[in-house]
Chain A
Amino acid sequence: MTLEILLQPLVYGLQIGVTYILLALGLTVIFSIMNVINLAHGEFYMLGAFTVFYMNGLLKVNYFLALLVSVVVVAAIGILFERIFFRPARGRVVPTVIVGIGLMWLLQTAAQLIFGAQPRGMKEVFQGSVSFLNINLSDSRIVAGIISMILVAAVYLFIYKTKQGKAIQAVAQDREAAMSLGIDVGKVGTIGFGLGCGLAGVAGGIMAPIFFVEPTMGTTTLIKSMSIIILGGVGSIPGAALGGLILGIVESYGQTFLGYSATTFPFLIILLVLIFKRTGLMGRAA
């Protein structure tokens, strides 16, 4: 009895945590290219969620196809926004931040006009659940966890094993040196931004059947993603993975035992990290 109360949140937390990793990886990749947080990151997550909501929930398109569409659509919007809005502001922190909040504002209110402001639930894609030692996990959550794990692995392979991934790492470490070595920094920016936004979009699509979908869902998502990368160490890719899992689990226990006040956890995590270990768990010293 007590064991399942203690283990159930852990299982939920791990599943959500793996999806958080996708979000945090997206934010980290964009951060390493622009050197500034993309404040519209949560809105790309929201767009991904709505894409799946409309494709699968209303048009009855196959769920996995809908997920694929959400990646492509959101990545395309991201690349477009990078070209039009972020590239002219690049290199200057304050304009990039303000452009980010402008885009967040724009996408959020446009979504409210187009999709309606009220939260909407999507029908679960996979009915049924698995029970083990009295711990329940719905099929939707299992599928979400598996897709997220596969994608996290794919992103790792991309960043560490492919030429484009190495180019992103090079730009992140030293933009000027990367340029002098003949790396097309503009192209890296496009790929990195597309990847980052696509990851946010697919994370939204993965979460859509499990949680409500609403235009304002991006704000809390952004704050969660930011707390993960600060916890893991800004710019650190293994850190994003560790931070994602920790936030998922801590938040899951918090919601079970403390309820609503668990929404303040990301903020508390940010403050605690800054007080006790400014570089985060796996970050390099500045």
Chain B
Amino acid sequence: MNRLNWEKTSFYVVLLAILVLVPVLFRNLYQLGVITFMLINVLLAVSCWFIMTTGQVTLGHAGFAAIGGYLSAALIARYGMGSWWSLLIAMITAGMIAFVIGYITLRIKGIYFIVATLALGEVIRVVFGAWDDPFGGLVGIMNLPSPNAIIIAGLPAIEFASKVSLYYLTLVLALSGIVIMHRLNRSPIGLVFQGIRQADDLAENVGINIMGYKVLAFVIGCMFAGMGGVLYTYNVGSIQPSSFTLIQSAYYLVYVAVGGGINVYGPILGALVLNILSEFLRPVKEFEPIVFALILIGAVLLLKGGLIGLVETLWRRISELTVRASSKAI
């Protein structure tokens, strides 16, 4: 047990050190930008996975990222609100919309949730495209200012004008979102989610309010999708209706399907591997969606536990071997 904890701690320390050192390791601003977007995609993949832990598939995840991004952009650009308040309001609004949609569609078992989230994702795109004030219609909102500096008395102000500072901002926010969802997943609430996914009739019979828990998972996941959308607009400096489409929602599903859904490392691994693959596919960019769609189908039909399932099986084999080797040595 002790050995395991030590292993875990050192793993986290090394991981954190690498993440902090990324701007030093990748001095090329293009590469840094790619890594920043990878972090946003990881956050969105994890929040999509969080909803899926109750056994629901959401096809409107990009729509909630759009709600977050658009709302925060409009509040900043048109109403002069501060970045941090706008982030908070964007997340809460995404959560409230998720609550209403979830409350209406999750009461009834069946196809309704999938259908409603799919339609919602498209409606959001249409609505933002049609709404000129304050959302800028089809052009969207351009030339957003960089996020407000954080001023703590006695310390120099933390500005967010450079790419490097935006990377750290994205890192801190995305990481805290991922850690919160991971902790929730490991808490008793996460166990209830798992129970609902595996046998919702049984969970209902032992007195669990399955609708309430499904809505809760959906609301939390969508709040962090909203955060992902805000981080996107902070980094890009603009947002258009075409930024978040149904196809974008399909990307989050492929991250989870390839990575595996058993724990938080699945979607993280899936998002990282596929984003790196996407960089390699850049010369043949137009074929990327076809490759990804085939990967999505293949992963669902053939790769049951996802990549993380493979990694864990390998890890167990290796540790069995090392245990056997060390016991022999003694």
Contact A274 B111 (CB under 8 A): no
Closest to B296 in A: A102
Q: A282 → chain B, closest Cβ, in Å?
A: 16
Q: How far is the CB of B196 from chain A (nearest CB, A)?
A: 13
CB pair A274–B297 under 8 Å, yes or no, is: no
- Say yes or no: A106 contacts B297, CB within 8 Å: yes
Q: Which of B115, B122, B254, B292 has the most CB of A within 10 A?
A: B115
Cβ-neighbour of B300 out of A102, A104, A109, A270 (below 8 A) = A102
Which chain B residues border A5 with CB–CB below 8 Å?
Answer: none
A279 closest partner in B (C-beta):
B108
Indicate whether A113 sits within 8 Å of B286 (C-beta atoms), given known contacts A94-B57, A98-B57, A226-B119: yes
In the assembled complex, B120 has its CB within 8 A of some CB on chain A: yes
Interface string of A210-225 (1 = CB under 8 A from B): 0000000001101100
Q: Decide: A37 near B126, CB < 8 A? Known: A94-B57, A95-B301.
A: no
B residues near A104, Cβ cutoff 8 Å: 250
* Given A105-B293, A113-B287, A234 contacting B110 (CB threshold 8 A): yes
Q: Which stretch in A18-26, A119-127, A161-169, A258-266 binds the other chain? A: A258-266
Q: Provide the B245-281 mask, 1 if CB < 8 A to any CB of A, else 0.
A: 0110010011001000000000000000000000000
Are B123 and A101 closer than 8 Å at their CB atoms?
A: no
CA distance A113 to B285 in the complex (A): 11
B217 CB → nearest A CB, Å: 14
Query: Is A266's CB under 8 angstroms from B119's CB?
Result: yes
Binary contact readout B301-314 vs A (1 if CB under 8 angstroms, 0 otherwise)? 10000000000000
Nearest A residue to B131 by beta-carbon distance? A261
* Interface membership of B112, Cβ < 8 A: yes
Tell me if B114 counts as interface (CB < 8 A to partner A): yes
User: What 1/0 mask marks residues of chain A from 85 to 122 whose CB sits below 8 Å from any chain B CB?
Assistant: 10011000011011101111110111001000000000
Given contacts A98-B300, A102-B297, A113-B287, contact A227 B130 (CB under 8 A): no
In the complex, the answer to whether B290 meets A223 with C-beta atoms within 8 Å is no
Check if A105 sits within 8 Å of B127, measured CB to CB. no
| CB <8 Å contact, B55 and A94 | yes
Within the complex, what minimum Cβ distance (angstroms) separates A31 from chain B?
8
> In the bound complex, how far is the Cα of B254 from the Cα of A178, in angstroms?
35
How far is A43 from B301 in the complex, measured between Cα atoms in Å? 21
Residues of chain A contacted by B104 (CB below 8 angstroms): 271, 274-275
Any B CB within 8 A of the CB of A278: yes
Give the complex CA separation of A99 and B5 in angstroms: 39
Q: Which residue of B lies closest to A107 (CB)?
A: B293
- From B107, B123, B300, give the contact of A89 (CB < 8 A): B300
Knowing that A109-B290, A113-B286 are A-B contacts, what are 9 other residue pairs whose CB atoms are under 8 Å apart, sorted by A's residue number? A37-B111, A85-B301, A88-B301, A101-B59, A223-B122, A226-B115, A227-B115, A267-B122, A271-B101
A-B contact pairs, 10 of them (CB 8 A): A31-B111, A98-B253, A101-B296, A105-B250, A223-B122, A267-B116, A267-B119, A274-B105, A274-B108, A286-B109
3 tightest A-B contacts by CB? A109-B289, A106-B293, A102-B297
Chain B residues proximal to chain A, CB less than 8 Å: 52, 55, 57, 59, 101, 104-105, 107-112, 114-116, 118-120, 122-123, 126-127, 130, 246-247, 250, 253-254, 257, 286-287, 289-290, 292-294, 296-297, 300-301
